Structure 1
Amino acid sequence: MKNLLPILLLLVLFSSCGGTDTAQNSGSENILENFSFTTDTVVVNPGEEIINLSRGVRNGSLDESKTYFYLFDEVTAQMNKINLDQLILEEQISFEKEGPNGVGANYITTSRYLPGEEFLFANFQNTGIFNRNGEKVQDLTLKPGDIQVEGLSENAEYNLTNQIVFSPDRKWMYSLPGDFMEGTNQLAKIKLESKSGNVIPIPALDKVGDYRILLQSDEIMSIYVEELFLQQIEDSYFLSGGTVNSIYRFEIGQDSLKLFEFDFSIVPNEKEIPVNNKVSSQKEFESEMKKARGQIGFDKLLFDENTKRFYRFGRIYETKGDDPDAPLKAQVFLFAFDENLNLIGETEIPELDKVPSSAFFKDGKLWSYVNVDDELGFAVFTLNFN
């Protein structure tokens, strides 16, 4: 892995084990049969400050009440604290880039709110938890040789902080240190005090790695990978992937995962047409990406606390025309599940040509990031089921 560091690497993101449930529709009724929605757009007032949207809000995160949306600005090393009830930039919390309390001067892979208004920052050099005064309260930098994770592949040791989640007492850490060069994916369970742990297989998501596309030439190395999602939702933890509709659920401290599989009626349950994993030209690379994106893909789980329902978007990208700068459009689908992950609804949404971006539920409505003339905005969807 070390030998690959000098190579220009373009990471393109588009985004055994326990029991298994084949989760059919729990009743004959499809709750999304008459689904419709209305949309309002709201814009955050930044006052005299600027909210930098050059990287969108991919790393934005919410507090427990979903009153505050936190968005880190890598240029200024400030965390924007945005009040969603009042739609104002309430505060900018400053951090240092370097030094003992530094969050990192290079690309920040993770910047996320934690309970108690602490923040997780991670990059390829260091990882830690910081308080709102900018002080590092816990160093989570895990270097190869300092940690013992049984079953972890050598290359995955350099990716241990990918998609970290913690137990409520922060004694356990879970992450997805897959080796994207080989297309392997793993769930790592680590006890932080002893810096030891083990790998839990996730075979139902192996197909995510099957859609890795590697371009190697004398000039550049480029990689296209489909996403894996590791989420904490209320008191449970979930694993899912972009290529298949299966979902794992697990509890902290356990090595067994419960697998939920679904039989969708309006789209395939997974990508079906294979791609060439290694190509040698940009033309081949783009052709294989088009093949992957032209099949069904799934986003992460969304949870509506008001109805206790889960939702998940799916999309099939359309073929682009002759204009390379034209926006990528897609067929968009929505799937609904009850709190036990029984499938209770599915529908296509022809009114949308892309999946809502960085979406979350707040007060029973679906919020989605939009850029409004370089100001932070949200499309707020009111969902109707009658």
Structure 2
Amino acid sequence: MINRRLLLGYFFGIGLSLLTSCRSEVVKENFSALRYSIDTVYIDSKDEIIYLKMRLYTSDYSDSDGMYYNLNNAANQVEQINLNSLELEKIIPFEQEGPNGTGFWTTDLKVTSDQQLFLGGERSGIYSLSGKLLQSFDWFAIEKENGGLLDEERIDYQTVNPNYPKEVFAIVINDKTNSVSLRHLNSSKNSIVIHNIDPNDNYRTYTLGDLSSYNNWDPLLYIKSINDHVIVSHEYANDFHVLYPLKDSLISIAYKSVLFESKVKPTTEGDLNNSIEDRKKALKSYRSQIAYGPFVFDNKNKLYIRLSASVIYGEKDREGHLLPEIASSTLYISTFDENFNHMLDQEIPELNKIGLPKYFTKDGAVWIYQNIDDELSFVRIQF
């Protein structure tokens, strides 16, 4: 069992191999707590252009069918990518208007169950792969006395959990107080429950710009639906929050690492006078310390996994990016058992210039998004 090996601190080797479709390993000796190998796979696009402008931010992997679903927001269609055969399977169109319409903008895509997707944005709902709306969620239909949103509040990101088909969860930002909370909408009860997921005021601490208006840059918060619960975490602090909807119970967890600090040291106070250059300088400082990614779950090894990275930026601008090209970065992997007990933090020295892109787990491996010459590929860390 890998958990036992991690706890006992066995010494393992590290392998590295860069391949196109099939995987092989070249093992080299290295005294480390976690044994892994690395390879790269490329996706056959079948002469189609896979949508990479959002760097797979609005996408999700389905364990049930081995498919990866990537939203092309510009065309309002979903690319279904077969990760077993490593090729584009098909493109699924969605309507913007009408009874099955998704609206004109979508910020979230989540796999809900076999052959169903959640799309969240202007209109939020669960859709079949034929584009039919199966369940809609209307946050603004809930009265304020039942937990409905205030005028100064807006939905940031949403998710659903297959165990609760009539419910949806969202990170909600209050622009007046520059605060954030977790909301739980139960369409059967026509009510919204509010949970505090920022007891340390991290959202306000790391916001840059005018704190009283939309003229600011706010930090990333991640919301993930895993197993029978929902996890909310922050890009600049390692504490995270786990909601168990069945019990309406929220727990908060923090941990210490011997490799990096538990949170980023702020360098710039958010106010109206922050120039664009001031903000960029602050972002560079924050991400050079540490930036945390979201939690994912490795079904094979029964581990929660979280990647994080410290990034040093160069001088050359990147098209479509706020900050320049990455000069170097240090990637870390953190593992937790099924009860969220922190097990280890470890550097992945082979991946020293990728920053912290989109990632997920499949078959005991972490798949990390890479754009190589405008073609979709993944670096895989196999345990």
Instruction: Give deviations 1:81-110, integer Å, cap 9, x for gaps.
Output: 1111011212222211223322122x3211
Residue 76 in 1 paired to residue 69 in 2?
Answer: no
Change (3 A) 1:167 1:60: closer
User: How far apart, CA to CA, are the structure 2 residues paired with 1:72 and 1:202?
Assistant: 28
- 1:291 and 1:356 mapped to 2: Cα distance? 15
How far apart are residue 237 of structure 1 and its match? 2.3
Pairing 1:126–2:123 present: yes
Q: Cα offset for 1:27?
A: 5.5
Distance in 2 (CA, whole Å) between partners of 1:62 and 1:132 is 14
- 1:258 is aligned, of 247, 251, 256, to 251
Contact 2:116 2:129 in 1 (8 A): yes
CA–CA distance in 2 between the matches of 1:187 and 1:335? 24
CA distance in structure 2 between the partners assigned to 1:235 and 1:63 by the alignment = 16
> Which residue does 1:285 correspond to in 2?
279
1:301 to 292, 295, 299: 295
Looking at structure 2, the residues matched to 295 and 149 of structure 1 have their Cα atoms a distance apart, in angstroms, of 41
Q: Which amino acid aligns with 2:78?
A: M
Asked if residue 162 in structure 1 is aligned to residue 157 in structure 2, the reply is yes
2:69 and 2:79 in contact (8 A); partners too: yes
Amino acid in the other structure paired with 1:201: N
Q: 1:241 aligns with which of 225, 234, 241?
A: 234
Q: What residue number does 1:313 align with?
A: 307
Deviation at 1:67, TM superposition (A): 0.6
* Aligned partners of 1:64 and 1:115 also within 8 Å: no
Q: Output aligned runs, 1:1-386, within 5 Å.
A: 29=9, 33-35=32-34, 37-65=36-64, 67-105=66-104, 107-123=105-121, 125-143=122-140, 146=143, 148-150=145-147, 153-156=150-153, 158-159=154-155, 162-166=157-161, 168-179=163-174, 182-204=177-199, 206-214=201-209, 222-280=215-273, 281-318=275-312, 320-325=313-318, 326-328=324-326, 329-351=328-350, 352-383=352-383
Closer/same/farther in 2, CA of residues 78 and 238 from structure 1, 3 Å limit: same
Question: Within 1, Cα distance between the matches of 2:364 and 2:35?
Answer: 15
Instruction: Give % identity.
Output: 23
Provide the rounded CA distance (Å) in 1 between the counterparts of 2:362 and 2:161. Answer: 23
The residue aligned with 1:7 is: none
SS of the equivalent of 1:244 reads coil
CA distance in 2, matches of 1:246, 1:191: 26
Q: CA RMSD for the aligned pairs?
A: 2.9
Partner secondary structure for residue 280 of structure 2: helix
CA separation of 1:30 and 1:262: change in aligned 2, threshold 3 A: farther
Q: Distance in 2 between matches of 1:41 and 1:80?
A: 21
Secondary structure in 1 aligned to 2:284?
A: helix
Shift of 1:303: 1.7
**Relative to 1, partners in 2 of residues 1:317 and 1:176: Cα closer, same or farther, differing over 3 Å?**
same
Q: Which runs of 5+ in 1 are unaligned?
A: 1-25
The 1:170/1:46 distance shift into structure 2, 3 A limit, reads same
Per the alignment, do residues 357 and 150 of structure 1 end up closer, same or farther by CA in structure 2, a change over 3 Å counting? same
Closer/same/farther in 2, CA of residues 199 and 130 from structure 1, 3 Å limit:
same
Question: When the two structures are superposed, what TM-score results if normalisation uses the length of structure 1?
Answer: 0.81
Report the Cα distance in structure 2 between the residues aligned to 1:147 and 1:194, rounded to whole angstroms: 14
Say whether the 8 Å CA contact 1:180–1:225 is kept in structure 2: no
SS of residue in 2 equivalent to 1:178: strand
Q: 1:285 to 1:272 in 2, by over 3 A?
A: closer
Post-superposition shift, 1:58?
1.0
Q: 1:268 to 1:339 in 2, by over 3 A?
A: same
Asked if the contact 1:335–1:347 (Cα under 8 Å) also holds between the matched residues in 2, the reply is yes
Q: Distance in 1 between matches of 2:301 and 2:355?
A: 21
Q: Mark the CA change 1:89 to 1:37 in structure 2 (over 3 Å): closer, same or farther.
A: same
Q: Is the 8 A contact 2:309 2:356 kept in 1?
A: no
- Aligned equivalents of 1:356, 1:36: Cα separation in 2: 21
Alpha-carbon deviations, 1:195-234, whole Å to 9, x = none? 2122111244531331011259xxx964322221221212
- Cα distance in structure 2, aligned partners of 1:43 and 1:257: 40
Separation in 1, partners of 2:294, 2:277: 30
TM (norm. structure 2) is 0.81
What CA distance in whole angstroms lies between the structure 2 residues aligned with 1:381 and 1:181?
42
Relative distance call for 1:287 and 1:51 in structure 2 (3 A) is closer
Greater alpha carbon shift after TM alignment, 343-352 vs 80-89: 343-352
CA distance in 2, matches of 1:149, 1:200: 14
Q: Find the residue that maps to 1:75 and give its secondary structure.
A: coil
